[in-house]
A and B are shown apart, each in its own frame.
Chain A
């Protein structure tokens, strides 16, 4: 698509009447159609895919969401939900002829209930805001994606987001009790319950990670946990990435489940250090950040064991943060790794495969070989405890052909993850980005089953169409494309 086509496309009479009806349902400031106003919604965190929506709506009541859905259902108009747009797989990418439904105005924390260890919030509440509100009771919401200052809880549920503390405390799906959703027909459903389980099928699990394909989440009840008495982080440096990987297995085999166990390779260390001045050893080939939490006594005991194991595994340096400020700083370096890498390269492409941890040496070796072949450097940030890799491929989109080469490299990495017994996405979702790789991970019958599940919620396919699960037709074409690779994917999208 040519960059400016969208703006000059005339709206059809049907589209005009949709907009008119939306204006009748919503306050003036809640319906945006001016290209300038639509611009901020044209992409999510994966900005290589961009497209202006036909119209953006910003409701702030559940009744308004219901009315919007009823209208879209009646008129057969597709709807894409959006939180903050920090997603990294193009999940919230708008449709040129569809409605983009932003939940940004659903910002209220409705209830913090320490006695029942839960909080009820609107979907547009930021992840970190929940922990901030719970702090008064000595509690917090455990999943902590690095984007937690910005991303919404609704987006977290839709992506089943993780964070650096998932190994011990689980993903979003493990920390949500109840959802209120509006179906494509405009029906209000309560999924799950305020209790630890609910009658019927585990629809709550199905909603987690469903990428806006099954319903619009309008309220979320999450589990709160008590803040541990103490958290302490150990930094270990290695002169070899494989040794660092083995150290991870040794800690777990010793019966310790760290609160977080993260690994970074040399390029990531240097970028993060330049950015955050976290005190990382710049010349190490890899570092591990191992956080232990619990009671004071237990943390001391585990730190001793962990330091001993790390040294035995060949760490060239092992140290613990001396105070809370240093602990925060060590984590800041890790949590800002993506933007840090963004500073050393015009563009980067973040991958999200997960592998069984024992496959790490094999996968790293193969990636560095391809990196040399493509002439594209890779910085590795790795949720090492749970095997979730984030290779960041460094490239320059202004150099002709480099984006296409980067994407091809990325696709090979994802295929490698599947072959290693893992998955194409650990936490960022399939979205638009990995839709073709779904054809590698799943057989036709499985994809058909996914479509059948989708149809149970949304028979007309109006919620976020074209994302998350490929059509069988698309997979057949992908198979063909595989043969003559090098073609640009999604030629229908504007490229930057």
Chain B
């Protein structure tokens, strides 16, 4: 399959290669030392520190370039809407295994990869970075570079493609990304069980060492939700093993969790993403908790001081991102040790010596 698909989206035939213009805009910005704010459709502008600079829009640089279901690889321009990619994959009964959150209608591939976002299936099928096979970028010297490729295994050169994932555009402008895709499971079922938080944590962590086809697990409002997936037989068998009540509208439940549309996420309190080892017992921080990723990613809506939250989570070996705080916060991600910050600055400098791309978006000074 190439450029023109019978895609289900109304934006069909708008595939466009905007590379030359993008490269020119980067060159101009380098000449005038103007910072660029790289964006797709702005669905994730609330993530990270405040953006600054002139807009470099990738929204029109779009289209699926290559997709052969037998190769399990899809390559697209980064302005391509996720919905278009997902619809195309669905036609071949395939999917993005990392189940990316969209956080809005126009979510693009580039924004998803740059923010490194992964949904409920992440602990069981890998993160966005695990699916990335290759990319093309413009670096801060205005050069167009290719790394990785369209094959599953490739160890030629440093893994720059994966380095781009979650770098929030601070290292380069992503032009194209190749992803490993997977078949959709033939069957899926969600089982719920009422239980206290610590029991849910133990249960979800225990299942990591059991041969059960769990592909999502969360704890919300006194209930543990387990999603099982695989062949019809596998799902039926696992249902017997695990017990619990089948959830009726499970697709919409996991969708609302992934998209932060559950009632929980409507809280006025600041929202934190707390990442800990999955077996970590319930943390003693006042606020409301929702546990995703089998307990490894926990959402906290809390008015407690940020410093206290960071301190408590760090003590368990975890880290914290302030996701929504009313106004865009100054400290969003867990601060890096001085030695790591120094390494980050040198890496930033190696890609973007003039600090053109999304300066300060992740950390002040980066």
Contact = CB atoms under 8 A, between A and B. Distances in A.
Say whether A and B bind each other.
yes
Interface of A: 114-118, 137-139, 159-160, 162, 166-167, 170-171, 173-174, 187, 189-190, 193-203, 205-206, 208-210, 214, 224, 226-229, 249, 252-253, 255-257, 294-298, 300-302, 354-358, 383, 385-388, 421-430, 434, 438, 441-443, 445-446, 449-450, 452-457, 468-469
A430 B127 contact: no
List of 5 A-B pairs having minimum Cβ-Cβ separation, nearest first: A205-B162, A298-B234, A297-B233, A386-B152, A452-B350
Given A116-B279, A198-B319, A445 B71 contact: no
Contacts of B335: 199
Interface string B138-173: 010101111101111111111110110111000100
A301 B236 CA distance: 13
Interface in B304-321: 317-319, 321
B347 interface: yes
A227 B211 CA distance: 6
23 contacts: A117-B208, A138-B209, A160-B155, A167-B152, A190-B340, A193-B275, A195-B296, A195-B319, A196-B297, A197-B116, A199-B336, A202-B163, A205-B129, A209-B158, A226-B208, A229-B211, A252-B70, A294-B230, A298-B230, A298-B231, A356-B68, A426-B153, A438-B157
Interface string B321-345: 1000000000001111101100110
B211 A297 contact: no
B58 interface: no
Contacts of A355: 151
Contacts of A193: 275, 317-319
Contact of A255 (B186, B213, B232): B186
Contacts of A383: 153
Contact of B351 (A115, A138, A297, A449): A449
B153 to A, nearest CB: 4
A427 B344 contact: no
Contacts of B234: 294-295, 297-298, 301
Contacts of A166: 152-153
B267 interface: no
B238 interface: yes
A429 B334 CA distance: 34
Contact of B167 (A187, A201, A208, A445): A201
B245 interface: no
A300 B156 contact: no
Contacts of B347: 201, 203, 453, 456
Nearest to B317: A194
A196 B157 contact: no
The residue among B73, B127, B129, B156 with the most chain A CB atoms within 10 A of its own CB is: B156
Nearest to A203: B343
A193 to B, nearest CB: 7
B275 A197 contact: yes
Interface residues of B, number: 87
A196 B93 CA distance: 28
B152 A197 contact: no
Interface in B86-120: 93, 116
Given A297-B236, A450-B158, A201 B319 contact: no
Contact of B277 (A195, A228, A443): A195
A386 B153 CA distance: 7
Interface in B265-307: 275-279, 293, 296-297
Contacts of B333: 199-200
Contacts of A199: 319, 321, 333-336
Given A173-B159, A203-B343, A295-B238, A194 B277 contact: yes
Interface string B345-366: 0110111000000000011000
Contacts of B171: 201
Given A173-B159, A297-B237, A423-B149, A189 B279 contact: no
A203 to B, nearest CB: 7
A250 B296 CA distance: 36
B53 interface: no
A302 to B, nearest CB: 7
A205 B186 CA distance: 31
Interface in B218-274: 230-234, 236-238
Contacts of B160: 206, 449-450, 453
Contacts of A356: 68, 71, 73, 150-151
A52 to B, nearest CB: 27
Given A298-B230, A356-B71, A453-B347, A202 B210 contact: no
A257 B159 contact: no
Contacts of B339: 187, 189
B196 interface: no
Interface in B52-96: 68-73, 93
Contacts of A189: 339-340, 343
B346 A228 contact: no
Nearest to B332: A199
Contact of A195 (B156, B182, B183, B317): B317
A386 B180 CA distance: 11
Given A174-B126, A226-B211, A298-B213, A387 B153 contact: yes
A458 B154 CA distance: 23
Contacts of B143: 445, 449
A423 B69 contact: no
The residue among B70, B336, B351 with the most chain A CB atoms within 10 A of its own CB is: B70
B156 A173 contact: no
B44 interface: no
B184 interface: yes
Contact of A441 (B126, B156, B166, B318): B156
Interface in B26-69: 68-69
B18 interface: no
Given A170-B130, A298-B230, A300-B233, A387 B276 contact: no
B122 interface: yes
B126 A421 contact: no
A197 B146 contact: no
B237 A202 contact: no
B202 to A, nearest CB: 8
A423 B350 contact: no
B153 A162 contact: yes
Contact of B159 (A160, A198, A429): A160
Contacts of B16: none
Contacts of B127: 196-197
Contacts of A197: 116, 127, 166, 275
Contacts of B343: 189, 203, 456-457
A214 B153 CA distance: 21
B362 A200 contact: yes
Contact of B157 (A295, A301, A354, A442): A442
B155 A426 contact: yes
A38 B260 CA distance: 60
A249 B351 CA distance: 38
B213 A210 contact: no
A423 B147 CA distance: 11
Given A194-B277, A357-B70, A445-B143, A206 B158 contact: yes
B70 A174 contact: no
A452 to B, nearest CB: 4
B151 to A, nearest CB: 4
